[in-house]
Amino acid sequence: MVDRPKKPTSLNPSARSSAPQPTVDISDDRVTATLPTGESVSILLYGATVISWKTASGAENLWVSEKAALDGSKPVRGGIPIVFPVFGPPPKEGPTSKLPQHGFARSTRWEFLGKSSSEGEAQGQGSGDESVKLDFGLYGAGLDESVKSKWPYEFGLVYSVTLGREGLMTVLNVRNEGDEGWEFQMLLHTYLRIDDISKTTISGLGSATYIDKVLDATTHTQSTPTLSITSEVDRVYTGLKQDTTSVLADGKPRLDVVRDNLEDTVVWNPWREKANAMGDFAPKDGYKQMVCVEVGSVAGWQRLEPGETFEGGMMMRSYV
């Protein structure tokens, strides 16, 4: 279990003030939480996919395709899909070889495990709760038999989504609940909403090594301090030492993505041709208003022996 100093501390419910509290609405297909100050987050039970994260100003920070399927018929194009236990197309051989691209977590219905709230230390006198944490679970026993036959391991996933005034934290806890070891990859496939890709740069990746999937998965080193996107980009930055990757608009901070116990970051934008080729990508020029900055462990494989646990995630901050 990784120690996260930014993780909110749960309050004793009996000690709470009478100030406004976060609201949590639960429906058949999603859970939505709103803070008294106006920040909100919405998560589909299908895939435990975060499909909206708004700041107090009402600004949306996540991009979701206008043609995204939100009915559980296919993985959501946009938001924050969870990639597990394999990233990208599966290898031709090995335990994950029969799984679909990006695994099964994003295309399986999760269970809502409950909520908890925390109060900011500096705002403790009558200010109400500063954050709310929503937990979702997925377990080997709950998988469809067709999926179990392709990846027959016992596991437990707990995905925690914490909405706070300072940002959004998403953390995936992976546990081996069987009697044999297994390997996995995981990624939070985050689609960030931006105003104009031509005025957007990404910092925090300078001098880093990356695998360029556009260039036949060859390895390169980024020579510039910031990345500008002017064509299709599909890069896996590996072994990053700097925790924060920042998205800038006209040189000013727009969004920060801070990795937690994860060393890899994927940057993706399909650009014109690939966007046109995807039936669920809309509008077709939507690539101008989005960029994926995805934290994960995907350059290699994590191995868990029976009873072992891995945990990793991210903290995102918005400047609008």
- 213, 236 contact by CB (below 8 A): yes
Distances (CA, A) of 266 to 50, 55, 234, 259, 305: 18, 24, 7, 12, 27
Answer yes or no: is 101 a known binding residue. yes
Tokens of 116: 């908890």
Cβ count near 208 (within 10 Å) = 19
Spatial neighbors of 276 by CB under 8 A, at least 6 apart, are 284
Among the listed residues 39, 189, 263, 311, the single catalytic one is: 189
Residue of 53, 74, 60 lying closest to 134 (CA atoms): 53
**Is 175 labelled a binding residue?**
no
CA 161 to chain centre: 9
Please check whether residue 42 is in contact with residue 171, taking contact to mean a CB–CB distance below 8 angstroms: no
Catalytic residue status for 294: yes
Q: What CA–CA distance (Å, rounded) separates 124 from 12?
A: 13
User: Of residues 294, 305, 308, 311, which has the active-site annotation?
Assistant: 294
Amino acid letter, residue 212: D
**Measured at the alpha carbon of residue 54, what is the angle toward residues 7 and 275, in degrees to the nearest 5?**
110
How open is the CA angle 128-254-124, to the nearest 5 degrees? 15
Residues acting as catalytic residues: 189, 294
Annotated binding site: 77, 101, 106
Annotated binding site for substrate: 77, 101, 106
